[in-house]
Amino acid sequence: MKASKDHGNFFTSNFGLSNDPIPIEPYFSSEWFKREREKVFKRSWVCVGREENIGEPGDYLVRDIPILNASALVTRAADRKVRAFYNVCQHRGNLVAQTACGHKRSRFTCNFHGWSYDLHGRLVQVPDEKVFYNIDRDQHALKPLHCGVWNGFIFVSPDPARPLEEEFADLGKLVDGYDFALPVVGSYTAEVKGNWKVFLDAFQEAYHVIALHATTVRPTFAGSDNPFAHLTSARIFDRNRSISVYGNPDHRMRPSETLAFKLGVASTYTPDMEKNAALSAAGLNPEGDKNWAFDINIMFPNMELLMGVGWYAQMQFWPVAPDHTHYEVRIYMKAPRDAGDAISQEFNKVMLYDVLLEDLYTIENTQAVLKARADGNFIFGDHEVACRHNYEVVSQMVETRS
Amino acid sequence: MSAGFPEQFRDLERFAATWAIVSRHGRYQHRVRSTMDEVREFYDAITSRLEAIMKYLNRVGLAELPASDRTLLYLMLAYMEASRAVEVIGATEVHWGFDSSRLKIIDGAEL
Amino acid sequence: MRLFSDTYTDLKPGTVPIEPYYSEDYYRREQQRVFRGQWLMVGRVEQLAQPGDYFNKDLAVLESSVFVMRGDDGKLRAFHNSCRHRGNRVLAKSCGKLGKAFTCGFHGWTYDLSGSLIRVPDEECFTDLHKDELGLRGLACDTWNGFIFINTDPRPRESLTAFIGKEMDAQVAGFPFAGMELAATYEVELGANWKFLAEAYQEAYHVIAVHKDTVADRGTVSRWEVERRAALRGEAPPALPDDPTPGHHFSSVRLFDRHRSMSVFGKPKSDHQLPPAIDLCARFAPSPTRSDYGGLNTHKDASWGADLHFLFPNTELLMVTPTWYLQLGFWPVNAQRSRMEVNFYRQPPRTAGELLAMEYFEANFRDIVREDVAALEPAQAMFRSGATSGLWLSDQEIPARHSFEVIDRHVRAD
Ligand code: FES
Ligand code: FES
Ligand SMILES: [Fe+2]
Ligand SMILES: [Fe+2]
């Protein structure tokens, strides 16, 4: 049988990926984790917030990045430029900013001995400066992190392999026209005993929908013409990737969902298929797939944007240890104008919460037994192509010299 | 204590003390600590009145909604919790799930 | 007085080094050499009476979760509880009964009762998938006296029979294990190295101090109290004529290659006044006749109280009467943490009196365990301090020394 989207290794071979089983060791090994720190995370861009979080000059935010053993301080100065620094005093290493965020700051004064830095990171005051033997203030500015903004998302990197614009250029084209400047209407976090790749993998395939989510969202994302929740399309852009998830047009709407959709947005409801082609102009459904539900755009290494009509969700998978990930998800929607909007949004929040309980449970159950199978393999099918691609990208980076 | 429901929704007032909870976290907790019969009773009572309630609550913008109608709004938010249990899962919580006290609902995104 | 050291002269006197009781490195070698590839007791056949019955066992020391299941063919099999697709725990409940097959909850791969992969949803979208090579990863599984043992090596170097050995087998031959029911299980996790924990159950030296209140009906304590009071008065303790080994608590000890058996001294109960509850037990406990004592006091000690049988590396049987026994499992969690499991098995009680008596034994042992555990954590907390360089073990604690030496021998083996 010829490979088509519904048979064989259609995506996998189109993207030039192998069919080989994938070794399990990278998903628990501390050796590998150390190399991921050096070769992957230090050379990549990670998102630390949205521009709206620091909209005005004097606004700042602080963000812990456990895998870099770093805290990032992100500021907006009077020139409106966003800058990022290691949140570390150049005197004796104390944290310069201690609160998660703040406004109307012109300088940060370290509370250990009182050295002060401005929003550009410049050292502007040293108490009792004369005892420091002609200190050269320029030499003691806050250590900068590379910093850039992509569609309103602020990214930082210690030593990027590529400029931000280049790294996410293709994804940028794909989502061009989408309005990301929405408020967060719901947010969940968890500390989970799972490797960050095990975690991410559970959120970049829909093969598990029919089993794991059998009682929750299976009728929404699998149907008689697509019983296994096949992806409607998939794309790879170098290290990044994008998949489109099927929506079952025949799924029976229950009262709560009908209400949610009528009043606002129901993320389970598949939009009118006739209109799908037009969505691509708005940064959605890039291939004009029939029976499309939403896109998952995975921004290497640890973030993804799930994007549908009237909503998007940002997920971040922060590696803490080989078997520990800090997880965050934020749901973005228009601020509710009336009770109907609020109730409609509640539907989406509640639904996602239940589904996440199922996913996270499984991630821990998966991690629990991996070490005992150190010599074993994972087997990725064609519709888990994104998991395979992630492994290939990570292992290539981990295994390069220098 | 009267929740001060308008005349036509007085019969729903009996749910106010238990289901009209301000926080998302609290509503979820209440759902999973209730029995399925309790959830269903609440769900059925609201489902039969959906149109009327929404017509009433949506008559003005959220900012203009009088404080006295907030209880009814919270009741409707809790209805979304109850609906997952009744319409979809058939139990108050998912059958195989992560410990919900560990999946934190972040405050600040509250209504 | 040296009762046992002269018999077991291979065991060096002096201290036992302390580093193995906290070292991460030592622990890693224990994982490799003392637990992987060795027979480990994980349960009883009665738990898996019917085809499809299974139980799960989380074994941190093996970095695994393992399940044992009875197949359609009646055979017991053990598997790593990890799906061959992407590793999810296939059986999520701690125990249960399956039909003909079971399905992984993540993506729905399905296995039959012999662990073979029989169904892959959307199989067409996998390339080069050979279902016949993707059965669950098995472990060796066998039974002895109804106890289920597993071995991470699917083809173990040594059979379970050879592992148990003739001498150990003979110690309990004839004991009615099969007729018993599991009446209670206690589990406790504590901050103490697993060897340190296990050793506390292989010497009776601490009984007189730690258990002075709880083991009051067994005689040794009254002996200790007599000595203590005499010492407080500055007098020499009076001799007790019916105590064959004054001041000592094992009446006999047998050290085998890896396992060991100990018998605990027991004072004839006629001697002291029993408190009401114990008296009740004495009157209503099932009273076996002499001939029922098969598999107990095989060494025929004159003043016998109980047998302890320790199976390398981490299982113990505590046997007092033909009507109940305890099985203890000492499981490492990490270098300085362990989890102890205590299973209380008994003959199904036939009368209310028997039930009450059993209830008393069970409750009493629970208190005893609490006393043991309370003593261990503070000691463990000091191990790294450098305050102690080694553990002093007496002649009476020779089983604990043997326990350490056997483990150390495995850790150091090439
Ligand atoms: S460490 Fe910041 S001023 Fe000294
Ligand atoms: S992990 Fe078991 S079916 Fe995918
Ligand atoms: Fe999922
Ligand atoms: Fe004890």
What mean pLDDT value characterizes chain C?
85
The answer to the question of residue C358 being in a domain is yes
Q: Rounded mean pLDDT of C230-256? A: 63
The answer to the question of residue C30 being in a domain is no
The domain boundary, picked from C137, C164, C191, lies at C164
Q: Both C179 and C157 in a single domain?
A: no
Confidence of residue C77 (pLDDT cuts 50, 70, 90): very high
Q: Both C263 and C352 in a single domain?
A: yes
Residue among A201, A378, A382 whose CB faces C125 most closely: A382
The confidence score (pLDDT) of residue A3 equals 58
Residue C321 has pLDDT above 70, yes or no: yes
- Under a CB-based contact definition with an 8 Å cutoff, are residues A15 and A389 in contact? yes
The confidence score (pLDDT) of residue C224 equals 45
Closest by CA to A182, choosing from A285, A74, A313, is A313
Q: Give the CATH number of the domain where residue C279 resides.
A: 3.90.380.10
The domain boundary, picked from C164, C197, C224, lies at C164
Structural domains in chain C (count): 2
What is the ipTM, given to two decimal places?
0.90
The answer to the question of residue C137 being in a domain is yes
Q: Both C116 and C221 in a single domain?
A: no
Confidence of residue C293 (pLDDT cuts 50, 70, 90): confident
Taking the CA of residue A137 and the nearest CA in chain C, the distance in Å comes to 45
Which mutation among A85, A108, A113 tests ligand 1's pocket best, with the greatest number of atoms within 8 A of CB? A113
Q: Both C296 and C204 in a single domain?
A: yes
The confidence score (pLDDT) of residue A272 equals 65
Q: Both C255 and C305 in a single domain?
A: yes
The confidence score (pLDDT) of residue C236 equals 60
Q: How many CB pairs under 8 A join A and C?
A: 102
Q: Both C137 and C193 in a single domain?
A: no
Q: Both C145 and C212 in a single domain?
A: no
Tell me how many helices (H) and strands (E) chain C has: 8, 19
Judged by a CB distance cut-off of 8 A, whether residue B60 touches chain A is: yes
Domain A10-40+176-399 superfamily per CATH: Naphthalene 1,2-dioxygenase Alpha Subunit; Chain A, domain 1 (3.90.380.10)
The confidence score (pLDDT) of residue C223 equals 47
The answer to the question of residue B111 being in a domain is no
Looking at per-residue pLDDT, the higher value among C212 and A312 belongs to: A312
The answer to the question of residue B73 being in a domain is yes
Q: Rounded distance, CA B76 to CA B81, Å?
A: 9
Which structural domain, as residue segments, surrounds residue B46? Answer: 7-92
CATH, range A46-159: 2.102.10.10
Query: Mean pLDDT of residues grouped by 10 in chain A (402 residues)?
Result: 73 94 96 97 97 96 95 97 96 92 94 95 92 88 97 98 97 95 95 98 97 93 94 97 94 90 79 66 89 95 95 97 98 94 94 97 96 87 97 96 68
Q: Which residues of B are less than 8 Å from A353 in CB distance?
A: 28, 103, 105
Q: Both C191 and C312 in a single domain?
A: yes
The answer to the question of residue C367 being in a domain is yes
The answer to the question of residue C313 being in a domain is yes
Report the first-to-last Cα separation within chain C, whole angstroms.
Answer: 37
Residue C322 DSSP class: T
- Under a CB-based contact definition with an 8 Å cutoff, are residues A125 and A9 in contact? no
Q: Both C112 and C229 in a single domain?
A: no
Is residue C84 within 6 Å of ligand 2 at its C-beta?
Answer: no
Q: Both C299 and C392 in a single domain?
A: yes
In one-letter notation, the amino acid at residue A66 is P
Q: Rounded mean pLDDT of C274-287? A: 71
- Locate the ligand 1 atom nearest the alpha carbon of residue A93 and give its number: 1
Counted residue by residue, chain A has a size of 402
The confidence score (pLDDT) of residue A150 equals 98
Residue C238 has pLDDT above 60, yes or no: no
Which structural domain, as residue segments, surrounds residue C288? Answer: 4-18+174-411
- Under a CB-based contact definition with an 8 Å cutoff, are residues A45 and A156 in contact? yes
Cα–Cα–Cα angle for A374, A378, A380, nearest 5°? 170
- Under a CB-based contact definition with an 8 Å cutoff, are residues A154 and A59 in contact? no
Q: Which residues of A are less than 8 Å from B60 in CB distance?
A: 338
Structural domains in chain B (count): 1
The confidence score (pLDDT) of residue A304 equals 98
The domain boundary, picked from C131, C164, C197, lies at C164
The answer to the question of residue C28 being in a domain is no
Please tell me which residue of chain A has the smallest CA distance to C103: A211
Interhelix angle A339-368/B67-83, nearest 10 degrees = 40
- B111 vs A336: CB contact, 8 Å cut-off? yes
Looking at per-residue pLDDT, the higher value among C368 and C208 belongs to: C368
Confidence of residue C262 (pLDDT cuts 50, 70, 90): very high
Q: Which residues of A are less than 8 Å from C106 in CB distance?
A: 208, 211-212, 362, 366
Confidence of residue C2 (pLDDT cuts 50, 70, 90): low
| Tokens encoding C109 | 């791969």
Q: Both C307 and C343 in a single domain?
A: yes
The answer to the question of residue C27 being in a domain is no
The confidence score (pLDDT) of residue C219 equals 46
Q: Rounded mean pLDDT of C122-127? A: 93
Share of chain C above pLDDT 70, in %: 85
The confidence score (pLDDT) of residue C392 equals 76
The confidence score (pLDDT) of residue C290 equals 54
Q: Which part of chain A has CATH 2.102.10.10?
A: 46-159
Residue C393 has pLDDT above 80, yes or no: no
- Locate the ligand 2 atom nearest the alpha carbon of residue C104 and give its number: 2
Judged by a CB distance cut-off of 8 A, whether residue A222 touches chain C is: no
The confidence score (pLDDT) of residue C244 equals 47
B15-35: pLDDT as tens digits: 999 999 999 999 999 999 999
Residue ID of nearest Cα to ligand 1 atom 1 = A92
**Class of residue C56 by CB neighbours under 10 A (exposed 0-12, middle 13-18, buried 19+):** buried
Q: Which residues of B are less than 8 Å from A182 in CB distance?
A: none
The answer to the question of residue C26 being in a domain is no
- A7 vs C127: CB contact, 8 Å cut-off? no
| Tokens encoding C341 | 């499991």
Q: Which residue has the tokens 């113990």?
A: C316
DSSP SS3 for C329: strand
The confidence score (pLDDT) of residue C288 equals 63
- Locate the ligand 2 atom nearest the alpha carbon of residue C86 and give its number: 1
Tell me how many helices (H) and strands (E) chain B has: 5, 1
Chain A residues 330-389 with a CB less than 8 Å from chain B: 330-331, 336-343, 346-347, 349-351, 353-354, 356-362, 364
Q: What is the pTM of this model?
A: 0.88
Residue B106 makes CB contacts below 8 A (sequence gap 6+) with A187, A188, A189
Q: Give the neighbours of chain B: at least 3 Cβ pairs within 8 Å.
A: A
Q: Give the CATH number of the domain where residue C53 resides.
A: 2.102.10.10
- Under a CB-based contact definition with an 8 Å cutoff, are residues C85 and C107 in contact? yes
Residue C370 has pLDDT above 80, yes or no: yes
| Tokens encoding C92 | 């999520």
Q: Rounded distance, CA C64 to CA A321, Å?
A: 19
The answer to the question of residue B55 being in a domain is yes
Taking the CA of residue C40 and the nearest CA in chain A, the distance in Å comes to 16
The answer to the question of residue B101 being in a domain is no
Q: Rounded mean pLDDT of B67-88? A: 94
Judged by a CB distance cut-off of 8 A, whether residue A24 touches chain C is: yes
Q: Both C96 and C201 in a single domain?
A: no
Confidence of residue C358 (pLDDT cuts 50, 70, 90): confident
Confidence of residue C145 (pLDDT cuts 50, 70, 90): very high
